Structure 1
Amino acid sequence: MDAVTIKLAGPEDAAKVLAFLRQAATESNAVQVPHLLDVSLEQEAENIKTINQFDDCVVMLAILGDEPVGIITVMMLADHPEVGELGVVVEKKYWRNGIGQLLVDEAEYWFENYSSLKKLVLSVFADNSPAIALYKKLHFKETGTAVEDGRPALVMEYQPEE
């Protein structure tokens, strides 16, 4: 089997990113991308291009062969520009194969070495115990609770050991 590689998403990846996210949204209710079906190829290419111009946002893809099997985003929170929110999506048939960990590791490295952000946070549905276990393993600590899409969620913050 081919190895999974991680790459920074570029505007040329827009079609594959949209197709991947639209497929993933049918596989999991954890994919929370507003207006996903309304985004055009041109809009997505422009979104990725814009994201790549800032050091407080990033989109990276896990690639197997030449197709994305996972994506990770860090987006600055509009009301807290010093905080980035982590989002992780892995294609369902590749769950529990280490791709999520690979992506989160890469995002943590980016956060520590390239980002201007002060905090890295995420929210995860409270019933998603495999994801919660992964995030805890990768130095995320519970900092609160929330309700997302009418469901209980945990808020977690990256807190690497000193």
Structure 2
Amino acid sequence: MADEISIKLATSKDAEQVLKFLRETAMESDAVLIPHLNEVSQTEEARNIDLINQFDDCVMLLAMLEDEIVGMVTVMVLENQPTTGELGVIVRKKYWRNGIGRLLVDEAEYWFNTYSSLENLVLTVFEDNVAAIKLYHQLNFVDTGRTIEEGHRVIQMKYRPRK
């Protein structure tokens, strides 16, 4: 499956499809935690994507199966930590366990190591998402803490590139 997937940088032209993807995946999984998602207009999302693309500390990449978005990875700089980016990965449920998440994280790591001005890459994952935790460990993330966020027990992780 993953060999049929292409990865592309999101552009403002993708805004409608990105919003549709996010709204649908938010109903498939409680891991999609985007405040006010249903209130974001296509115009606002297009502006958001354009803004993301102006900086070297943020990125939004789309996993495409022909013309369908089947996954997305974002790295967004943390407001209170300007040298740290937070990784977010979403894969459409019917494509889970097909290597798409690994492909997206690999692409984000490449972007981080090659193009980003960030010093750190972190993520938060639900404690019961065993498959994702295993994947992140395989892809050089280490646990840095545990907490409860929005009613969910989560593990905080940090990227540690191999030397």
TM-score using structure 1 length? 0.98
- Tell me what 1:41 maps to: 42
The match for 1:56 is 57
Distance 2:65 2:35 in 1: 26
Residue in 2 aligned with 1:71?
A: 72
Partner of 2:32: 31
Q: Please report the RMSD computed on the Cα atoms of aligned residues, expressed in angstroms.
A: 1.0
Q: Which consecutive unaligned segments of at least 5 residues does structure 2 have?
A: none
Read off the aligned partner of 1:38 and give its amino acid letter: E
The percent identity for this pair of structures is 59
CA distance, structure 2, for counterparts of residue 161 and residue 57 of structure 1: 22
Residue matched to 2:151 = 150
After TM superposition, the runs of 4+ consecutive aligned structure 1 residues lying more than 4 A away are none
Task: Output one character per residue of 1:7-58: Cα deviation in whole Å (capped at 9) or x when no partner.
Answer: 0000000000000000000000000111100000000000000000000000
Question: Match for 1:155: what amino acid?
Answer: Q
For residue 152 of structure 1, give the secondary structure of its aligned residue in structure 2.
strand
How far did residue 151 of structure 1 move?
1.1
**1:136 counterpart residue number:** 137
The alignment status of 1:85 with 2:86, answered yes or no, reads yes
SS at match of 2:123: strand
Q: For residue 161 of structure 1, give the secondary structure of its aligned residue in structure 2.
A: coil
1:48 & 1:146 partners in 2: Cα distance? 30
Please give the alpha-carbon distance, in whole angstroms, between the structure 2 residues aligned to 1:28 and 1:70. 13
Q: How far 1:160 moved relative to its partner?
A: 1.4
**Matched AA of 2:67:** D
Q: Shift of residue 148 of structure 1?
A: 1.5
**Per-residue deviation, 1:149:** 1.3
1:123 paired to 2:120: no
Deviation at 1:92, TM superposition (A): 0.1
AA aligned to 1:22 is R
| Alignment partners' CA distance in 1, 2:127 and 2:160 | 19
Mark the runs of 5 or more structure 1 residues left unpaired by the alignment: none
Report the residue type matching 1:142 in the other structure.
Answer: D
